Chains A and B, each alone.
Chain A
Amino acid sequence: MARWGMVINLNKCIGCYACMIACKQEHFLPPEIFWGRVLTGEAGKYPAIRKLIYPVLCNHCEEAACVDVCPTGATTKREDGIVIIDYDKCVGCRYCMMACPYQQRTFYTNGKKEYFPNQGLTELEIIGRQLYPFQEGTVVKCNFCLERIDEGVERGLKPGTDREATPACVIACPAKARYFGDLDDPTSEVSRLISEKKAFQLHPEFGTNPSVYYITR
């Protein structure tokens, strides 16, 4: 069984936020909900300052803290490593949000919030809520575009290689800074990049073994 993972080349990332927008479009995410973000900051001291850009998303950790602490079993890890939330089981206790060292979960509280305040929901928003019926009072997060992966795999496509079976943020990246594939396959592009470019994970000290890697060279 594959274990899906992502590699992000920070040298290629230009901080254009296309991944964030693609993710919002793909899942019709309501206002103020982001499954992927781009963090920017500065390192060093004037005049030797570097700008750092870190695109972040759910790390789909192998030893996911959110899965352990969920009291209802709403958060689970699939065989392919994708951490998912069953909105019908989530009670909204938010213990998973506390436990996630990467803070990649959001509590969805206001289902009536519109993109254009006091204008009503747009047709697109109405369609989105039918396609992705998020429930108020539950926690939401990135699902690695599992709809695309599942459908693609069913059709015999290869996630990470075939566009239709690859997460939206990877396809949207104009700088081709994101790579997606099977971490358990030593011949996959992601595995090759991880070993050749000495990729690193965010906060490995927590022992969560994230499936999202970063490379800086």
Chain B
Amino acid sequence: MKPYEWMTTYTPQEEWIEKKGIFMPLAFYFGSLGGGLYLVSLYFNSLLGMLVAWLIVGVLKGGSHLVDLGQPFRSWRMVLRPQSSWISRGLILVILFLSLVALQLLISSFFPGTTWEAIFKVLAVLAALGTCAYPGFTLNYVNAIPLWNSAMLPLLFMACGLLGGFAILQIIGVFGGNVDLIGVEFGSLVLLFVTAIFIITYTWSASYSGPYGKMALKELLKGKVSPAFWLGVVLLGIVMPFAIALLGYKGMQIPKMLLFVGALGEIICGLSLTYAVLKSGGYRPLVPLSSDEV
């Protein structure tokens, strides 16, 4: 963007996508992925899956946020404003998730079947749901960016997190983990369908969010960000895994490598979608120019 175009025409946000800001979509996606994987692992009773979810949130999400922050040593201050800031709420949810899942994993490993295990599982599920959805709420709160100001975003992020969770559990199963692969494949198929519906609804609703929402949507579907959307989200993330899962559901014997590739596509789907949504978010200009006639 030329300096003279800044805020005199549709101005894409850069701080959460350019330079160090590239860690922001990573952090958001790892949060959704970790939360989703925990929920899926809990349903299929995979302790390994839960442990991987804990590591994704603690190491990958936490690390990405710390790299992104301008003053990481002050990050403890970010829990101070949960009454109004989604970043504060998110950090509190992540801390709760990490603490509760760690305790639940310890109890499940050493005292399985106790009431405490059930209690911590319920609490961890609530924290995982929050960890999964809060990036969507963080973006949804920003009404200055029409593409983000959509009630669909928390649902979309949650669906992508769960889809990624199914994918990682599938990978664990493919590499010999104790996982009900047929059940995971079926769940994955359902989630792919749900995610596709959510994406269609999100883009459709964005087309009604005013001229600058339409411009952002155009950027997402036809602009520089479109390869991430069409290649990463639609082709690798939805169509390919859907085809593979459908073949498996029809009773065909699918090579493990193909299952692995399909699962990888589902992970790429969420990551590409988070990147594409953040990259195409932009502001309405300050100067009422002829660009208002778009």
Q: Report whether chain A binds chain B.
A: yes
| Chain A contacts to B: CB under 8 angstroms | 37, 39-45, 52, 54, 56, 65, 68-74, 89-95, 97-103, 107, 109, 135-139, 202-203, 206
What distance in Å separates the Cβ of A145 from its nearest Cβ neighbour in chain B? 21
- Are A103 and B7 touching (Cβ within 8 A)? yes
CB distance from B279 to the nearest CB of A (A): 13
Asked if A93 meets B286 with Cβ closer than 8 Å, knowing A71-B80, A98-B13, the reply is no
A60: min CB distance to chain B, Å: 15
Does B144 have its Cβ within 8 Å of any Cβ on chain A? Answer: yes
Cβ contact within 8 Å between A69 and B84: yes
Could you tell me the distance between the alpha carbons of A35 and B289 in the complex, rounded to whole angstroms? 22
Least Cβ distance of A137 to chain B in Å?
3
Is B138 within 8 A of A89, CB to CB? no
B77 near A40 with CB under 8 A, answer no
Q: What mask results when residues 121 to 133 of chain B are scored 1 for a CB within 8 Å of chain A, else 0?
A: 0000000000000
**A72 cross-chain contacts in B, Cβ below 8 A:** 74, 77-78, 80-81
Q: Is the Cβ of B11 less than 8 Å from the Cβ of A103?
A: yes
Interface residues of B in 6-21 (CB under 8 A from A): 6-9, 11, 13, 15-16, 21
Q: Give every chain B residue within 8 A of A41 (Cβ-Cβ).
A: 8-9, 285, 287, 289
Interchain CB contact under 8 A, A95 and B85: yes
Residues of A within 8 A of B77 (CB): 71-74, 89, 91
Question: Per a CB cutoff under 8 Å, which of A44, A99, A101, A206 touches B141?
Answer: A99
Residue with the highest number of chain A CB atoms closer than 10 Å, among B69, B81, B86, B283: B81
Q: How far is the CB of B135 from chain A (nearest CB, A)?
A: 12
A37 CA / B4 CA spacing, docked (Å)? 11
Could you tell me if A97 and B15 are in contact, using CB atoms closer than 8 angstroms?
yes
By the criterion CB–CB under 8 Å, are A71 and B289 in contact?
Answer: no
Shortest Cβ gap from A57 to chain B (Å): 11
A39 with B284, Cβ < 8 A, contacts A52-B289, A89-B74, A90-B70 known:
no
Q: Is B75 an interface residue (CB 8 A)?
A: yes
Cβ contacts B254-290/A at 8 Å (1 or 0 each): 0000000000000000000000000000011111111
**Least CB separation from B73: chain A residue:** A91
A33 to B80 CA separation, bound complex (whole angstroms): 29
Q: Does more than half of chain B's interface fall in helix, strand or loop, or is it mixed?
A: loop
- List chain B residues, Cβ under 8 A from A94: 15-16, 21, 70
- Per-position contact with A for B67-106: 1 when CB-CB < 8 Å, else 0? 0111110110111110011111001000000000000000
Task: Judge whether B145 is part of the interface by a CB distance below 8 angstroms.
Answer: yes
Contacting residues, chain A, for B289 (C-beta < 8 A): 41-43, 52
Top 6 A-B pairs, shortest CB-CB distance: A92-B70, A137-B70, A101-B144, A72-B77, A71-B87, A71-B88
**Residues of chain A within 8 A of B109, CB atoms compared:** none
Residues of A within 8 A of B144 (CB): 65, 98-101, 206
Complex contact B78–A93 (CB within 8 A):
yes
A138 to chain B: closest residue by CB: B70
**A95–B70 touching, CB < 8 Å:** no
Query: Considering the chains assembled together, what is the distance between the CA atoms of A137 and B68 in angstroms?
Result: 10
The answer to whether A68 and B84 touch (CB under 8 A), given A39-B8, A40-B4, A95-B138, is yes
Contact B70 A56 (CB under 8 A): no
Q: Shortest CB–CB separation between residue B120 and chain A, in angstroms?
A: 27
Q: How far is the CA of A93 from the CA of B142 in the complex (A)?
A: 14
* A71 and B70 form a contact (CB under 8 A): no
CA distance A162 to B70 in the complex (A): 38
Find out whether the CB atom of A203 lies under 8 angstroms from the CB atom of B70: no
Contact assessment for A70 and B290 in the assembled complex, using a CB-CB cutoff below 8 Å: no
User: Closest Cβ of chain B: how far from A61's Cβ, in Å?
Assistant: 12
State the CA gap A90–B87 with chains docked (Å): 13
Give chain B nearest CB distance to A140 CB in angstroms.
11
Known: A39-B286, A54-B287, A69-B85. A91 touches B78 (CB 8 A): yes
Residues of A within 8 A of B283 (CB): 101, 103
Complex Cα gap A92–B67 (Å): 11
Tell me the complex Cα distance, A102–B80, Å. 26
A69 in contact with B87 given A40-B8, A91-B69 (CB within 8 Å): yes
A-contact bits for B208-221, CB 8 A (1 contact / 0 none): 00000000000000
Given A71-B81, A91-B70, A42 and B16 contact (CB-CB distance below 8 Å): no
Cβ-defined contact, A107 with B88, below 8 A:
no
